[in-house]
C-alpha cells in the first residue's frame, strides 16, 4: 500500500527541512525523506561545521515557516560587509572597502547561524507540525509520473504517491537524474576549507572577505565563544594546498591562517575540526519536469561567495510556496511548474554567472590581474549609486 501526501520532499538538508516546515505550516500534507539522519549536535562526529548567512529576504520565509522565533536568539547580525584586497607583494591590506546595510535598510544584511544549529531548530519545528512526516534514514529510489500525480519508490521499497515532488537532494540529485534533467558543470580545481576560530579583536558584526590569490578568505561573525570573539571561516584555494592545510598540525595551521587573514582580527585560534568541500559551479538546464520541481543544490551549486547559495535556495522555496498557495487545486500541475521555472531560471543563471566571474577574479595569481582586481573594487565602491545597487542585488532586492 502506498502512502499519500500533497508534497514529497526528497532531501533533508537545510533547504529540504525549511521547505518541509514552510509547506507544512501552510497546511500541506508533507513527507520529507533523507538517507542520512540530521546531526543536530555541533560536537558530534560528522556535524556540519559550516555556517550560513541568512539574508534579509530569507527571514520572511523563516517567519512563514514558523522558524524565525526560535532561531533569532542564536543569530549573529551581519551589519557590514568588508572587502579587503591583499594582493600586493606581502599579505597585508592594500585596499579596504566597507558596504554598510544602513545605506539601504534599517536591518542588517542578514544573520549568521551554524549549520548544525539550523538543523536542530528545524527538526524541533517539524516535530511540532502534524502535517509533516519526516523519515530519516530513507532516500528516494525511483520516480514515476503521470499527468495526475507522481509515485516515488523509497529506498526501503515502500512507495509514496503525491501531487508534487520537490527535489532538495543535492548536487547529485537522484530525483533530477530520474527525471532526465541534465546539468552544466564548471570545476575550478579549488576546495573550501571551513572551520571556526576565536580571535582577540571583536568582529563588531562585520563579515570580512580577504582577497589575495586562490580564492577569498572569509570570516563571518558568530556569537562569542568562551568569552572571546568568534568567526566562521571559509578559506578557498587550490585543492592541493587545501588538502595540505587540512593535514597540518594545529599550531602550524593557526600561523598560516593568521597570515592569510592579514592578522585582521589578530592571531586566530582554531576551535573546531577542519572540513574541506570541493568548489564547483553547476546548474540544471530546467527546474521542472512532470510533477517535479528542483530546488537548492539539485538546481544550482556555486562557490560560497556573497552568501548566495542557500539564500537562492530559500528564494526557490518561497516562489514554489507562493505558487502552491495560489493554485492549491492545481498543485504540481504543468502550469504551476512552468511558472516556477520561468520565474526562477533567469535569476539563477544571472547569479551563477556573476559568482563564477567573482570567483575567477578572486583566483588571480599574476600581479597584473591582482592590480586590476584592486582597481575594480575601488571603482565600484567610489560610485555611490553603483555601490547601493550592488548591495541590493546581493540581497535579492533587485
* Domain membership flag for residue 58: no
Summarize the confidence of residues 277-302 as an average pLDDT.
96
User: Which three three-digit cell numbers place residue 120?
Assistant: 536542530
Diameter over CA atoms, the chain: 68
CATH number at residue 327: 3.50.50.60
Domains identified in the chain, total number: 2
pLDDT (0 to 100) of residue 366: 65
Q: Looking at residue 295, what DSSP letter applies?
A: -
* Domain membership flag for residue 12: yes
Same domain for 295 and 171?
yes
Q: Give the domain extent around 254.
A: 72-112+187-278+366-395
pLDDT (0 to 100) of residue 65: 98
pLDDT band at 152 (very low <50, low <70, confident <90, very high): very high
Find out whether 159 and 152 touch, Cβ atoms under 8 Å: yes
Q: Looking at residue 309, what DSSP letter applies?
A: H
Q: How far apart are CA 324 and CA 193, in angstroms?
A: 38
pLDDT band at 362 (very low <50, low <70, confident <90, very high): confident
pLDDT band at 383 (very low <50, low <70, confident <90, very high): low
Same domain for 103 and 192?
yes
pLDDT band at 98 (very low <50, low <70, confident <90, very high): confident
Same domain for 213 and 87?
yes
Same domain for 210 and 239?
yes
Q: How far apart are CA 12 and CA 174, in angstroms?
A: 14
Q: How far apart are CA 375 and CA 337, in angstroms?
A: 43
Question: Cα Rg for the chain, rounded, in angstroms?
Answer: 21
User: Which three three-digit cell numbers place residue 253?
Assistant: 595551521
Same domain for 144 and 174?
yes
* Domain membership flag for residue 60: no
CATH number at residue 264: 3.30.9.10
Q: For the chain, what percent of residues have pLDDT higher than 90?
A: 66
- Listed range (122-136, 339-353, 355-369, 376-390) with the worst mean pLDDT: 376-390
Summarize the confidence of residues 350-358 as an average pLDDT.
85
Report the chain's terminal Cα–Cα distance, integer Å.
48
pLDDT (0 to 100) of residue 51: 85
> What kind and span of H or E run contains 384?
helix 384-395
Q: Looking at residue 39, what DSSP letter applies?
A: P
In this prediction the pTM is 0.89
pLDDT (0 to 100) of residue 57: 86
Same domain for 324 and 291?
yes
- Nearest by Cα to 359 from 277, 195, 238, 275: 238
Contacts of 341 (CB under 8 A, 6+ apart): 286, 287, 288
Tens of pLDDT along 197-253?
A: 999 999 999 999 998 888 889 999 998 999 999 999 999 999 999 999 999 999 999
- Listed range (259-273, 294-308, 363-377) with the worst mean pLDDT: 363-377
Whether residue 389 is predicted with pLDDT greater than 60 in this model: the reply is no
Q: For the chain, what percent of residues have pLDDT higher than 70?
A: 91
Amino acid at each position: 500500500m502506498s502512502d499519500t501526501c500533497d508534497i514529497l520532499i526528497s532531501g533533508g538538508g537545510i533547504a529540504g527541512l525549511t521547505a518541509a516546515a514552510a509547506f507544512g505550516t501552510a497546511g500541506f500534507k508533507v513527507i520529507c525523506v533523507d538517507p542520512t539522519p540530521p546531526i543536530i549536535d555541533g560536537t558530534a562526529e560528522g556535524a556540519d561545521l559550516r555556517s550560513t548567512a541568512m539574508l534579509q529576504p530569507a527571514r520572511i520565509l523563516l517567519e512563514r515557516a514558523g522558524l524565525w522565533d526560535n532561531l533569532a536568539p542564536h543569530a549573529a547580525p551581519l551589519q557590514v560587509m568588508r572587502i579587503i584586497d591583499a594582493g600586493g607583494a606581502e599579505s597585508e591590506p592594500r585596499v579596504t572597502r566597507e558596504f554598510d546595510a544602513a545605506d539601504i535598510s534599517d536591518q542588517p544584511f542578514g544573520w549568521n547561524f551554524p549549520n548544525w544549529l539550523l538543523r536542530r531548530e528545524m527538526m524541533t519545528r517539524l516535530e511540532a507540525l502534524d502535517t509533516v512526516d519526516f523519515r530519516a534514514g530513507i532516500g528516494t529510489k525511483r520516480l514515476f509520473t503521470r499527468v495526475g500525480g507522481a509515485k516515488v519508490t523509497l529506498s526501503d521499497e515502500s512507495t509514496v504517491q503525491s501531487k508534487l515532488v520537490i527535489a532538495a537532494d543535492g548536487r547529485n540529485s537522484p530525483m533530477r537524474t530520474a527525471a532526465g534533467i541534465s546539468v552544466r558543470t564548471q570545476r575550478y580545481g579549488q576546495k573550501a576549507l571551513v572551520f571556526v576560530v576565536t580571535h582577540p579583536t571583536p568582529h563588531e558584526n562585520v563579515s570580512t572577505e580577504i582577497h589575495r590569490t586562490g580564492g577569498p578568505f572569509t570570516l563571518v561573525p558568530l556569537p562569542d565563544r568562551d568569552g572571546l570573539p568568534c568567526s566562521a571561516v571559509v578559506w578557498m584555494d587550490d585543492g592541493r594546498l587545501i588538502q595540505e592545510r587540512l593535514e597540518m598540525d594545529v599550531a602550524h595551521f593557526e600561523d598560516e591562517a593568521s597570515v592569510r587573514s592579514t592578522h585582521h582580527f589578530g592571531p586566530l585560534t582554531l576551535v573546531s575540526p577542519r572540513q574541506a568541500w570541493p568548489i564547483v559551479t553547476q546548474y540544471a538546464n530546467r527546474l521542472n519536469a512532470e510533477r517535479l520541481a528542483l530546488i537548492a543544490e539539485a538546481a544550482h551549486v556555486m562557490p560560497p561567495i556573497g552568501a548566495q547559495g542557500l539564500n537562492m535556495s530559500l528564494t526557490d522555496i518561497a516562489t514554489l510556496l507562493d505558487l502552491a498557495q495560489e493554485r492549491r487545486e492545481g498543485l504540481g500541475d504543468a502550469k504551476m511548474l512552468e511558472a516556477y521555472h520561468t520565474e526562477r531560471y533567469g535569476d539563477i543563471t544571472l547569479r551563477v554567472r556573476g559568482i563564477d566571474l567573482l570567483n575567477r577574479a578572486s583566483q588571480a595569481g599574476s600581479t597584473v590581474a591582482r592590480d586590476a582586481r584592486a582597481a575594480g573594487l575601488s571603482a565600484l565602491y567610489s560610485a555611490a549609486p553603483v555601490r547601493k545597487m550592488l548591495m541590493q542585488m546581493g540581497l535579492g532586492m533587485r
